[in-house]
Amino acid sequence: MFTENQIKAFENIKTPFYFYDIDLLTRTLDKLKSASEKTGYKIHYAVKANAQPKILKLISSYGFGADCVSGNEIIAATENGFPPDKIAFAGVGKTDEEIEYAIQNDIFSLNCESFAELEIIQQLAEKAKKTAKIALRINPNLNPNTHHYITTGLEENKFGINLWELEKLITDLKSFNYLELTGLHFHLGSQITDLSVFRSLCMKVNNIQNQLLKKQIKLPHLNLGGGLGIDYHKPDEHSIPNFELYFNIFKKFLEPIPGQSVHFEPGRAVTGQCGSLISRVLFVKKGITTDFAIMDAGMTELIRPALYQAFHKIENITARVPDKIKKYDVVGPICESSDCFGKSIELPETARGDLIAIRSTGAYGEVMSSSYNLRDKAGSYFSDEI
Ligand code: LLP
């Protein structure tokens, strides 16, 4: 939802651009903070969702940590206020330079995904004469009922250590004297809306912990990853995810051992709803069944619909006859048939020059943009600055 003043300001900005509602982000962070404080859970924002410096600064000001997946994300996180001892570093393919940087900065944990990776971290930590804190990312083999491209916690996925390898790996780790095993890490996938999946995750984690306890293995932390979904269909009705409901599942079903800290890595749930991609209609072209609304934004600015058939609510925010509804295929200018934001979308009668908002694009929107077709990078604007 945009105010009249915002829409007036949009008229004078070069389209396409990302617009971030800082007030909504602040209210989202307030809710996340109170829900996490009630439960004692620790939050590491998943920087991959949106790495705008201003957004990172606001999130870090709440005292949250960061979840990073590259050396550059660690740099962005530390430059924007996240203390290294609250940074988790995940990823199946960390380079030596990235590992060295993480070790030098004494980050909270390197979340490791294979024995091969552990061997390299041991070597690099020894070279640096520093102990690296590590967590083992376990593949829990649970189906999160989300799009298969954003499913990560199944055995067939490349992520994590398989359960049957875990005990031997922990035994082998004892000879790695530059590694300190501090926790277990899990992440099932993203845009999870069937919350019962998280209950199953709790059961899985409890079983694994019980197995380890039998061998006297007690670890200081559990990291349950991210994945909480948002409502792409009703961004205004459900602008802030229900963090309390989400954490209560873990409160009820997860059995941490005494003194063990519990961590989460939400990305989409934090920044998803605060962003919109604002674009202008270039042409309306007659189609066989529906007309095409051809926009100046395309898959280069927002690839989610092309890549995952993702739904984003599309609104004409400057329609002249709001009640006259027609159907349009809303497409971009890129030379690819998949460059389509939505087919047969009901919009008020749309004309050249109208402004179109593609909602819920604050997570995995701008960060996944590209310069394909040698496109200019879209600008980014914030509600407290325009
Ligand atoms: N932790 C780990 C280890 C992850 O791999 C991810 C996301 C997160 C946390 C944050 O997940 P979230 O809370 O945002 O669901 N580009 C895709 C999403 C890819 C997510 C990758 N990992 C999309 O546009 O839907």
Long-range Cβ pairs for the range 371-375 (8 Å, 24+): 371/300, 372/299, 372/300, 372/334, 373/298, 373/300, 373/333, 373/334, 373/335, 375/298, 375/300, 375/301, 375/334
**Average pLDDT for consecutive 10-residue bins of the chain (386 residues)?**
96 98 98 98 98 98 98 98 98 96 98 95 98 96 78 76 89 94 96 96 96 93 98 98 98 98 98 98 95 98 97 97 95 97 98 98 98 98 97
- What per-residue confidence (pLDDT) applies to 316? 98
Place of tokens 């990291």: 223
Q: Where are the domains of the chain?
A: 4-17+273-385, 22-271
Index of the ligand 1 atom closest to the CA of residue 192: 15
CATH superfamily, with its number, for domain 4-17+273-385: Lyase, Ornithine Decarboxylase; Chain A, domain 1 (2.40.37.10)
DSSP, residue by residue, 104-134: HTT-SEEEE--HHHHHHHHHHHHHHT-PEEE
What's the 243 CA to ligand 1 centre distance in angstroms?
A: 17
- Out of 42, 43, 48, mutate this one to test ligand 1's pocket (max ligand atoms within 8 Å of CB): namely 48
What's the 26 CA to ligand 1 centre distance in angstroms?
A: 21
What's the 267 CA to ligand 1 centre distance in angstroms?
A: 6
Place of tokens 């491209």: 149
Cα 293 to Cα 352: distance, rounded to the nearest angstrom: 9
Residue list, ligand 1 pocket, CB within 6 Å: 46, 49, 67, 90, 150, 187, 190-191, 225-228, 265-269, 304, 308, 363-364
Index of the ligand 1 atom closest to the CA of residue 364: 24
Q: Which of 101, 151, 143, 140 is nearest to 121 (CA)?
A: 101
- Out of 246, 265, 301, 308, mutate this one to test ligand 1's pocket (max ligand atoms within 8 Å of CB): namely 265
- The residue nearest atom 9 of ligand 1, judged by CA position, is 226
**Integer CA distances (angstroms), 376 to 58, 208, 288, 300, in order:** 27, 49, 32, 9
Cα 183 to Cα 374: distance, rounded to the nearest angstrom: 44
Architecture (CATH level 2) of domain 22-271? Alpha-Beta Barrel (3.20)
What's the 270 CA to ligand 1 centre distance in angstroms?
A: 12
What's the 370 CA to ligand 1 centre distance in angstroms?
A: 19
DSSP for residue 60:
H
What's the 27 CA to ligand 1 centre distance in angstroms?
A: 22
Structure tokens at 42: 């620790």
Residue type, 384: D
Cα 228 to Cα 49: distance, rounded to the nearest angstrom: 13
What's the 45 CA to ligand 1 centre distance in angstroms?
A: 10
- What per-residue confidence (pLDDT) applies to 150? 65
At residue 76, the 3 state secondary structure works out as helix
- What per-residue confidence (pLDDT) applies to 219? 97
Place of tokens 């945009």: 2
Angle at 238 between CA 152 and CA 349, to 5 degrees: 105
- The residue nearest atom 16 of ligand 1, judged by CA position, is 364
* 3-state SS string for 250-268: HHHHCCCCCCCEEEECCCH
What's the 15 CA to ligand 1 centre distance in angstroms?
A: 28
- What per-residue confidence (pLDDT) applies to 157? 78
- Out of 190, 224, 301, 308, mutate this one to test ligand 1's pocket (max ligand atoms within 8 Å of CB): namely 190
Cα 173 to Cα 171: distance, rounded to the nearest angstrom: 5
Report H helices in the chain.
Answer: 4-10, 22-39, 53-60, 71-79, 96-104, 115-128, 163-173, 196-214, 243-253, 268-271, 304-308
Index of the ligand 1 atom closest to the CA of residue 268: 14
Distance of CA 350 to the CA centre of its chain: 33
Angle at 379 between CA 226 and CA 9, to 5 degrees: 110
Index of the ligand 1 atom closest to the CA of residue 304: 24
**Integer CA distances (angstroms), 109 to 67, 162, 184, 193, 195, in order:** 10, 19, 10, 28, 27
